[in-house]
Amino acid sequence: MEQDKKLVELILKGERERFGVLVERYQRAIYRFLMNMGLDHDEAADTMQNAFVKAYDKLHTLRGGEHFRVWLYSIAANQARNYMRRRARELPLEEPDMPVHEEDPGLLVEREQLRSLLSGALKRLPEDQRKVVVLRAFENMPFKEVAEVCSISLSNAKTSYHRALKKMQRWLKPVASRMNLENQG
Amino acid sequence: MDCPIDEILLIDYLEGELEPKMARQVEQHLEACRPCRAEYESLLKVKQALAGVKESVVDQPPESFWQENFQAVARATYERDSSTGVSGGKVLSFPRFSRLRILAAAAIVLLALAGVLRLGLGPIGPPRGPSAELAQVTEANQAYVDSLYQLAETIYQYQIALNAMESMVELGADQENGYVPAGMEVPAYSSVYDGLAELEDNQLQQVMYALASDL
């Protein structure tokens, strides 16, 4: 498998059709990232297409092709910003109403409920914190790259992550006592 | 707070990003400091919960979605390059539709197997001569053979359609209008043996393994 750096070099030398390999390589990850950022399917599909086309147009501005992946995430995140801002207006950053299973204290929250709770909590995080959590926890990105995608310092990336987890923990607390979170998954 | 553990250090510890010596120091502090330990444990729970649902948070779209996205990007970049004259009319390389190709290859082998089934399976009961035997085998397996043929043909035709689609894009045709350029060669329906001859060894091997495990 050719490395991103090599592919970018070849594309810039004129083998532009090779950009297809990069699309195939990253489309699933970018889609998942956008969906986790709170976009719906159609928005994620549009944003992903725009991100790839923009990356194709601006490829000559990328210094060091090995950073293509991080650069692509940055483009996708920027492209998604409009949608996310609209989401933020629609979902004010208040304490979300998390379902509490008062009727059955012994009930273990099922995986599906946990998924929905976490997904709801993620969507209610401020955009910058959500981005950090999604990149770190779901995309397994090192903090250094997270910081690059988000255009923030390394320490800011870690601080945002800390605050986001704390916030989520507070939101999930009402049900956390009945959820054996460690054993979920 | 007098604690030496700030939020960045705690996150570094949580994410396993500390050198062993530093990690041990943090660990010792967490054992001694209740508030820090409580905070660490609460963060750990959320981290673990997120890890537990990581694969399932996003519903996976159907496989065709990725091909559609690829084509949309291919079309957009082709149009851009055509308008600027950058690429000299090249379009993005299509990804290898390996699964479909294997399916198409499987179809060809299914056709071959169907032929074998028609002629090769012996009946249960006393032998009654080659013709009677063949008649009985054919009758007993007809439905199965027909469904194999049908499946194989569908898959094979799908591959032909896919090839045609690739050619259309390569020729810069307008897919949305369903325009097929004059002179474009649509692959003809090959015979079983032509099809088999076209397969690469590793493809054939994969198909045979897949079939052996299914049949």
3-state secondary structure of B67: helix
Domain boundaries, chain A: 1-90, 95-185
In chain A, residues 114-133 whose CB comes closer than 8 Å to chain B? 114-115, 118-119, 122, 133
Q: What is the pLDDT along chain B (215 residues), one digit of tens a residue?
A: 467 788 999 999 999 999 999 999 999 999 999 999 999 999 999 998 898 877 777 788 888 898 888 888 888 887 777 766 655 445 555 444 334 444 555 555 555 555 544 444 333 334 344 455 545 545 555 555 555 555 555 555 445 444 544 444 444 433 344 443 444 443 333 333 445 455 555 555 555 554 444 43
More confident call, A115 vs A10: A10
- On the question of pLDDT at A60 being above 50, the answer is yes
Quote the crossing angle between the two packed helices B63-84 and A19-36, to the nearest 10°. 120
Instruction: Check CB contact of B49 with chain A, cutoff 8 Å.
Output: yes
Return the residue in B77, B90, B100 with the most chain A beta carbons within 10 A, the one to mutate for interface testing.
Answer: B77
pLDDT in tens, A100-146: 444 444 445 566 777 788 888 888 899 899 999 999 999 999 999 99
Q: Look at residues A85, A58, A82, A83 and name the one whose alpha carbon lies nearest to residue A72.
A: A58
Quickly list DSSP for B122-186. PPSSS---HHHHHHHHHHHHHHHHHHHHHHHHHHHHHHHHHHHHHHHHHTT--TTTT---TTPPP
Specify whether domain A1-90 bears CATH 1.10.10.10. no
Q: Is the ipTM of this complex over 0.85?
A: no
Q: Look at residues A180, A109, A28 and name the one whose alpha carbon lies nearest to residue B69.
A: A28
CB A5 within 8 A of CB A66: yes
Quote the crossing angle between the two packed helices A154-176 and A143-150, to the nearest 10°. 100
Residue A185's closest chain B neighbor by CA? B52
- The C-alpha atoms of residue A73 and residue A55 are separated, in whole angstroms, by 10
Q: Indicate the pLDDT class of residue A176, thresholds 50, 70 and 90.
A: low
- The C-alpha atoms of residue A179 and residue B69 are separated, in whole angstroms, by 39
Instruction: Check CB contact of B6 with chain A, cutoff 8 Å.
Output: no
Residue B72's closest chain A neighbor by CA? A49
Chain B partners within 8 Å of A42 (Cβ): none
**What pLDDT is recorded for position A158?**
96
- E-assigned strand segments in A24-171: none
Chain B partners within 8 Å of A168 (Cβ): 46
Both ends of chain A: CA-CA distance in Å? 32
Inspect the interface and report whether the beta carbons of A111 and B53 lie closer than 8 Å: yes
Q: Classify burial at B32, counting beta carbons within 10 Å of its beta carbon; exposed 0-12, middle 13-18, buried 19 or more.
A: exposed
CB-CB neighbours of A120 under 10 Å: 16
Instruction: Check CB contact of B79 with chain A, cutoff 8 Å.
Output: no
Chain B partners within 8 Å of A37 (Cβ): none
CATH number of A95-185: 1.10.10.10
- On the question of pLDDT at A161 being above 60, the answer is yes
- E-assigned strand segments in A85-138: none
- The C-alpha atoms of residue A24 and residue B99 are separated, in whole angstroms, by 14
Q: Look at residues A24, A32, A42, A183 and name the one whose alpha carbon lies nearest to residue B99.
A: A24
Half-sphere exposure of B2 (CA within 13 A, CB side): 1
**Mean pLDDT of the A96-101 span:** 47
- The C-alpha atoms of residue A183 and residue B130 are separated, in whole angstroms, by 65
Cβ contacts from A onto B, under 8 A: 139
**What pLDDT is recorded for position B108?**
56
Alpha-carbon torsion A10, A12, A15, A16, what sign? positive
In chain A, residues 131-170 whose CB comes closer than 8 Å to chain B? 133, 136-138, 143, 155, 158-159, 161-163, 165-166, 168-169
CB A158 within 8 A of CB B7: yes
Angle formed at CA B203 by CA B202 and CA B206, multiple of 5 degrees: 85
B121-to-B7, B111, B148, B149 alpha-carbon distances in Å: 73, 15, 15, 17
